[in-house]
Amino acid sequence: MSQVVLITGAARRIGAEIAHTFHHAGFDVALHCRHSVDEASVLAHELNSQREGSAHVFSAALDDIGAVRNLATKVMNWQGRLDVLINNASSFFPTPLEQASEQQWNQLIDSNLKGAFFLCQNLAEPLREHSGSIINIADIYARSPLAGYSIYCISKAGNAMMTKALAEELAPQVRVNGIAPGVILWPHHDEQMSEDVKQQVIQHVPLQRIGHPRDIAGMALFLATDASYITGQIIAVDGGSHLSH
């Protein structure tokens, strides 16, 4: 029987690349999304055309604990097992201190921390049964803040500490690690960023380029399959950006 991975925020961008990578490695892939059902369905159709019954879409709001619990139940009912949980779903937008609202606080904390924590809680037991792995997608700004994005940075710092705390609590049965991406893709609305601004960003990356989603996906696959003696680590995949933060 194939191993099973659940990827949150799997419809697009880094999440979709992780799905392709794990599917190519032989995993059955549970694709979580919230609003991007059409895109997730296209991805599932593509993967199922390569291997029938190997991908399924699950829609859920991760800020609702009941919905998180229901998601965990549905995923387990799908293939009857879970080997890897990848908490990739995330929100990112600026929150300057003077303008930040409670709604923004709740949205960022719920998306980047709360949902991931309670999904880990609800899936810990099936992961224990198969000596599974949890991978949390953090951020280099969990360690060094980005001006004007304080709530986002707080949420990702919490995500990083959650990774370490759960690594200790779930050992030895379950390994828990994190990945801290640097600049992998430009923001969704990159038309708002001039080429000059993009070049200024790249100048702060020692490798002098942005990354590719496959850089994150490859690290996730390594942590899930080949890193049997690694737990509690937050691995920067950022072209060296952390060296100057």
Where in the sequence numbering do the catalytic residues fall? Answer: 152
Which tens digit of pLDDT belongs to each residue from 48-74?
999 999 999 999 999 999 999 999 999
Q: Is the pLDDT of residue 244 over 80?
A: no
Q: What is the pLDDT of residue 193?
A: 67
- What does the chain look like in DSSP terms, one character per residue? ---EEEETT-SSHHHHHHHHHHHHTT-EEEEEESS-HHHHHHHHHHHHHHSTT-EEEEE--TT-HHHHHHHHHHHHHHHS---EEEE---------TTT--HHHHHHHHIIIIIHHHHHHHHHHHHHHHTT-EEEEE--GGGTS--TT-HHHHHHHHHHHHHHHHHHHHHTTT-EEEEEEE-S-S--TTGGGS-HHHHHHHHHTSTTSS---HHHHHHHHHHHHHT-TT--S-EEEESTTGGGG-
| Averaged pLDDT for residues 76-93 | 97
Q: What is the pLDDT of residue 189?
A: 56
Q: Decide if 47 contacts 41 (C-beta within 8 A).
A: no
| Averaged pLDDT for residues 87-107 | 97
Report the percent of the chain where pLDDT is more than 90.
84
Any bridge partners for residue 4, and if so which?
Answer: 28
Q: Is the pLDDT of residue 190 over 60?
A: no
Q: Is the pLDDT of residue 154 over 90?
A: yes
Q: Decide if 30 contacts 78 (C-beta within 8 A).
A: yes
**Domains of the chain, CATH where assigned:** 4-244 (3.40.50.720)
Residue 116 Cα distances to 124, 201, 237, angstroms: 12, 29, 20
- Read off the pLDDT band of 245 (50, 70, 90): low
Q: Regarding predicted confidence, which is higher, 210 or 225?
A: 225
Q: What is the pLDDT of residue 50?
A: 98
Write down the mean pLDDT value for the chain. 95
Which tens digit of pLDDT belongs to each residue from 10-52?
999 999 999 999 999 999 999 999 999 999 999 999 999 999 9
Q: What is the pLDDT of residue 1?
A: 82
- The model carries a pTM of 0.94
